[in-house]
Chain A
Amino acid sequence: MDLGTIWFILWGVLWAVYFILDGFDLGLGTLLPFLAKTEDEKRTFYNAMGPFWDGNEVWLITAGGVTFAAFPTTYAVMFSGLYSALMLLLFSLIIRGVCFEFRSKVESPGWKKLWDTCLFIGSFAPALLLGVAFANIFKGIPIDQDHIFQGTLFTLLNPYGLAGGILFVLLFAHHGALWLAIKSEGSLRERAFAMAAKLWPIMAGWIVLFLVYSMFATNLFSNYLRWPLLLAILLIPVGGLVLTKVYAAKARAWAAWAASAAVIGGTALFGVMGIFPALLPSSLSPAFSMTIENSSSSPLTLSIMLGVALVFVPVVIAYQIWNFRTFRHPVTKDDLDYEEAY
């Protein structure tokens, strides 16, 4: 396999890992107004994400950084083309990021309400925007022969893009509900499972709908028709979908969450493999697409970056797993009384 292809796969994997990890944070924030009734329950939400959200978000920065390093021209076209959508995403992530640190610092209901609202917007909007962005990438966006984006923010808000946005919101909300089941106790835990159960059929239905829609709206399936073996990737999200239902019914929160992670990761990989070898297909003509070939870095940069990734990514994964293990226990009253709790 050539360096460009290796980096294409790594690129897809990084986005998938980001969606899996930040997915549950964004989902929890989206569910906050619907599931958390009391102040203690709200704080449980914040502290269920507390030790993880920042490390999760770095996967986004890394995914962005790797796009820049390995496929600079795609990075340039993608980020300038999706300018307004990206700015909205960034501002949403900014207001989410400060919620954690700010909310507990002033004892006033109005102040807390403000940051709860920011957490909701800062979680729901990124889920929606990322979904809209990726659905548009799957579909192809109007870039011309000079790699200039011929459209506006509203070009992206087409029915298929919005369907992708809703898909991400559902996937993340379901994923977040299961994370809440892991990190909470008593009635909140029961409500978390109930929410996951309620979201499951909607999510499953929407995935099927989205796949069918994709057959008509995109060329995602052409690679799969050419190499039918690749269709095995679909086993990941489909299997995950079934298992998450089974495990959630048995109240096995970790297993159900892992299965849900497979749904998200598998869906992302399915899309990414569908657009290969383009990172950013053009809807105007396949000749204008941003591909591995016309946008990747020099072989020297790609191989140095591969060395860096092979050394550091396993280390990152190791200490992040350790972090998840250290703080895997449910948030208890004791944790909320802890002086450093949010």
Chain B
Amino acid sequence: MSKIVKLKKGFDLKLAGKAPLEHINLPAVQTFAIKPTDFPGIQRPKVLVNEGDTVKAGTPILIDKAMDQVIYAAPVSGEIVEIKRGEKRKLLEIKILADQTISYEEFGKIDLNQDRDALAAKLASCGVWPNVIQRPFGVVANPAETPRAIFISGFDSHPLAPDFGFTLAGEENYFQAGIDALAKLTSGKVHLSVDGSKSVPSIYSGIKNAEIHQFSGPHPAGNVGTQIHHIAPINKGELVWTVTPIGVVQIGKAVLEGVYDASKVIVLTGSELTKTGYVKTFVGANVSSFVKGNLNSGHVRVISGNVLTGEKVPMEGYMGFYHNQVTVIPEGDYEEFLGWLKPSSAKLSFHKAIGMLSFLNKGEFKVDTNTHGEERPFVVTGVFEKVMPMDILPTYLFKAIISEDFDEMEELGLYELVEEDVALCEFVDPSKNDLQGLVRNGIELLMYS
């Protein structure tokens, strides 16, 4: 345990619908999908399969023509039932009807003693690579490049997030193998951050080849961006990679077993689910098995991911590649008489403006998707700074992006951020701006200029 970083800024959202640490049984998921839209960096996606083809878990089904050495593979074996396209033939979903028992493409075990580039190329060819994200920009990493360091956040501090100590229990060997592989890929260290306010789960104890850091404090303490900032911040011209613990385990399985095993334990949460808990499934699962017959009420929003950074999906939709959580909350499309004035302790707010009494409420909040107000120009100042535990001036950064001032964006630290790092700013903003979208716009301006 090298250093303990105690963060003060941030905000923990206490929401109703937390899942108990237990597995629940639900009808098996029939279909899975890979959505190119889950990968922000993908430029020219090309489908490698046709409708009706059968694939194994690990069969390449998609590449990015701009970086074709990275394979996006089928998470399960089965039949390609639909390749869904949207406007201008934009590729939306590649759906696979899963076999009863999953069969795997065999790549052969991976020798960690081979040279760095060969190892990276091997990992890129077997389906696990999209787990490796580069910063700046938050896009899938280029295996040909060598990062200064690799960062892994060992815990998720988002609202109702899964407990990795529980979901990854028993995967210790794979996790270690994943770390060993990653350690070969960087010129620097592998940094693993754990929750400093809890005891270290078995999966991380005794880990070798990684430097362990402890972080404590409110969300976003668990965000890898926050952790990078406090361990070794990213400067212009530098490159670091990030991987989630689930990604590390998948890499470890590829190393030790020679297969792309896309299975993972996800958590079902949210106030509108009758049964919350943990479910074992695969990447890109159809959510209908999780929510059908498991709802308290009819008018809900199903979210792949958490309430701060997740994405609305239809009842028959699919989980995002990087999501380990499904959250179901009520839709908020109602008008409320004098809703902007009425005092309430039941409404969740970071602010304490007149009538906002949520700070008196120590219980859990049932929140819906209502925006509680319309979009406005930035008026309130200083509030973003209170939830941003980095030496970054968010208000000025946002204004720099709005005015497309490239130098300012760079100098004010856009290289350090991806969407999730400003999700809390977006939540607390009384002017209701789409700040995550704004940050992605800024990143794209810098990337493609």
Chain A bound to chain B:
no
B interface with A by C-beta (< 8 Å) = none
A interface with B by C-beta (< 8 Å) = none
